């Protein structure tokens, strides 16, 4: 998992969240309130829920973030994490301990770790199969 995770608060503007995504070259940023995970804002959230609807860049991320997020604990097995990603068709899983964000696991994290290439490949296949036309 990645432990050095940039976060935003619910009151952060979508422009600032997008700037963070650009700076750190990621497609999502967890939304925390006093280190408690309350959501995640993705580049897709910003495009579909704000830009496509003509919203202002000063709109707050709490208006566009995904609130129903699946999380795992630090002791979750890698196979289980990959299975969750595949079943929910998500590419990132926040890691929380007692409600506090401690990291994030992505498909890329699994793929980089050689011994988990199969899990990453299977999860990515399952994530992508329903979105390809």
Is 116:110 a contact under the CB 8 Å cutoff?
A: yes
pLDDT tens digits along 68-77? 999 999 999 8
Pairing of strands 28-33, 92-97: unpaired
Q: State the pLDDT at residue 91.
A: 86
Q: How far is the CA of 108 from the CAs of 7, 94, 119, in angstroms?
A: 19, 14, 11
Are 1-69 and 70-133 the same fold in CATH? yes
Spatial contact of 43 and 21, defined as CB atoms under 8 Å apart: yes
The fraction of the chain above a pLDDT of 90, given in percent, is 65
pLDDT confidence bin for 110, thresholds 50/70/90: confident
What digits encode the pLDDT tens for the residues 16-66?
Answer: 999 999 999 999 999 999 989 999 999 999 999 999 999 999 999 999 999
What's the CATH architecture for 1-69?
A: Roll (3.10)
Q: How many CA atoms lie within 13 A of 16 on its CB side?
A: 14
Cβ pair 82, 123 in contact under 8 A: yes
Q: How far is CA 85 from CA 4, 62, 78, in A?
A: 21, 23, 11
Sorted by where each begins, the domain ranges of the chain are 1-69, 70-133
| Cα distance between residue 24 and residue 34, in whole Å | 22
**What pLDDT, on a 0 to 100 scale, did the predictor assign at position 133?**
42
Which CATH number is associated with domain 70-133? 3.10.580.10
CB 127 within 8 A of CB 82: no
């Amino acid at each position: 998992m990645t432990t050095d995770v940039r976060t935003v608060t619910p009151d952060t503007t979508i422009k600032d969240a997008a700037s963070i995504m650009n700076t750190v070259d990621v497609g999502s940023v967890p939304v925390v309130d006093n280190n408690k995970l309350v959501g995640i804002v993705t580049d897709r959230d910003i495009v579909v829920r704000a830009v496509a609807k003509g919203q202002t860049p000063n709109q707050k991320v709490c208006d566009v973030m995904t609130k129903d997020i699946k999380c795992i604990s630090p002791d979750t097995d890698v196979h289980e994490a990959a299975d969750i990603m595949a079943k929910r068709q998500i590419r990132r899983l926040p890691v929380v301990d007692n409600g506090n964000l401690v990291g994030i696991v992505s498909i890329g994290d699994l793929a980089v770790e050689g011994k988990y290439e199969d899990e990453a490949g299977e999860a990515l296949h399952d994530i992508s199969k329903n979105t390809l036309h």
